Structure 1
């Protein structure tokens, strides 16, 4: 029996209109009522999904959780209590930031509580609106103000896949640190500490809850979701997932993110309804 479902947010749980549709909300509430944990597992901040938690009936609940920043933080929903942080060394973030500046990229820098953005552009603003609020624009070419603050991840907005892959190759050759590098939303290359990925985080949370990996369902669509898809007892790709994600999944939904894939998964694997 599956006891925990963990799901990516953008392009998985959320539709292209940036909402959780009513059928999915109903299915998640139904599963939660039977004692199944539903844990959002996102590259974004836990602060950015509070409205979604309210919609799902999970906001400010004790013994309910969110995994954020690609696994760099585990949060208990009640009072947004931070349980675990796996931060990047400041020197590595600074090196990556200088690479992003040199290439004139839009760069996001995440702490546990804040998102700072350097070189914002209109297309990026349009994408973030409705997903993320309260970011802070950086007007100086320095991260010194964050030198004593844990940084959970840094990402570059690069929309062309070939350029994302080229950037990955460049960073791997020029940054002397075993970064966890992943891609998301077909627009970002993301850099985390090697101790931080969605798979390691969900296994740590499951162990805390006394849940076996075989009792976990993990759902996603892109490369930053692969660690949890591989780690879970049932790894699931939504129908709109990248081909390489579908190839690693135990199950691929018939529905894409606009047509309630989480409801499909819950009905099939939690309640054994076709």
Structure 2
């Protein structure tokens, strides 16, 4: 029996209109009522999913969790209590920041556990994040010295083309210390501590809850979801997932993110 579902948010749980459909809400509530834990496993910060948690009946609930910042932060929903965090060295983040800010067409995001700072926010990027990330700051200075004493968990660039993202990945792998480099939403290249990814976090949460890897379902669509899809007992790609994600998944849904793929998984494997 599966006891924990970890689920990506954007392009997986959320429809293109940035909401959870009523059918999926009801399916998740049924699963939770049966004793299954449901944990968003997102690249975003945990504060950005509070409205979704409320809709699911999971906001401020003991024993329910969010995995955020690409696996760098695990938070219990009750009082938003951080139970695990993996940070990055300031010097590494600063070097990456300098690399990103040199390209005015790249939008640069830097995350702490509960804050988000964005540089070079253009109209196209604003349209994408609006309704997803509404609580952020836009520093005027092209310096992150003010973050030197903060706990930085992730830095990402929004990069126009996949070719550029792949070239950046290669460059950073060859010129920076080892870290986890992933892709998401067909627009971001993401940098985390090598100790932080969605798979490691899912397994750690399972261990915390006494749940074995084979009792975990992981649902996602893109590159940053691959570690959890590989780690879980049942790794699922939604129908709109990238082809390389579908290839490593145990199950591919018939439905895309606009047609209740998470409900499909619950109906097939939980109900």
Q: TM-score under structure 1 normalisation?
A: 0.98
Over the residues paired in the alignment, what is the CA RMSD in angstroms? 0.6
State how far apart, in whole Å, the 2-side matches of 1:174 and 1:122 are: 31
Partner of 1:31, secondary structure, is helix
1:80-130 per-position Cα deviation (integer Å, ceiling 9, x unaligned): 011111001111000000000112221000001100001111111111111
Report whether the alignment pairs 1:142 with 2:143.
yes
Deviation, structure 1 residue 170? 1.3
State how far apart, in whole Å, the 2-side matches of 1:192 and 1:35 are: 32
Contact 1:217–1:232 (CA<8 Å) still a contact in 2?
Answer: yes
Report whether the alignment pairs 1:182 with 2:182.
yes
State how far apart, in whole Å, the 1-side matches of 2:67 and 2:192 are: 14
Partner residue in 2 for 1:57: 57
Partner of 2:194, secondary structure, is coil
Partner residue in 2 for 1:16: 16
State how far apart, in whole Å, the 1-side matches of 2:221 and 2:128 are: 18
State how far apart, in whole Å, the 2-side matches of 1:34 and 1:200 are: 25
Partner residue in 2 for 1:89: 89
State how far apart, in whole Å, the 2-side matches of 1:269 and 1:178 are: 37
State how far apart, in whole Å, the 1-side matches of 2:107 and 2:230 are: 31
Contact 1:159–1:186 (CA<8 Å) still a contact in 2?
Answer: no
Counterpart mapping for 1:95-110 below 5 A:
95-104=95-104, 105-110=106-111
Deviation, structure 1 residue 21? 0.1
Partner residue in 1 for 2:40: 40
In structure 1, list runs of 5 or more residues that go unmatched.
Answer: none
Partner of 1:137, secondary structure, is coil
State how far apart, in whole Å, the 2-side matches of 1:34 and 1:139 are: 49
Partner residue in 2 for 1:232: 232
Aligned residues: 270
State how far apart, in whole Å, the 2-side matches of 1:4 and 1:159 are: 35
Contact 1:43–1:69 (CA<8 Å) still a contact in 2?
Answer: yes
Deviation, structure 1 residue 179? 1.1
Contact 1:69–1:152 (CA<8 Å) still a contact in 2?
Answer: yes
Partner of 2:245, secondary structure, is helix
Could you list the runs of 4 or more consecutive aligned residues of structure 1 that deviate by over 6 angstroms after TM superposition?
none
State how far apart, in whole Å, the 2-side matches of 1:245 and 1:261 are: 15
Partner of 1:226, secondary structure, is helix
Return 137-146 or 231-240, whichever deviates more: 137-146
Deviation, structure 1 residue 159? 2.4
State how far apart, in whole Å, the 2-side matches of 1:159 and 1:265 are: 32
1:213-261 per-position Cα deviation (integer Å, ceiling 9, x unaligned): 0000000000000000000000000000000000000000000000000
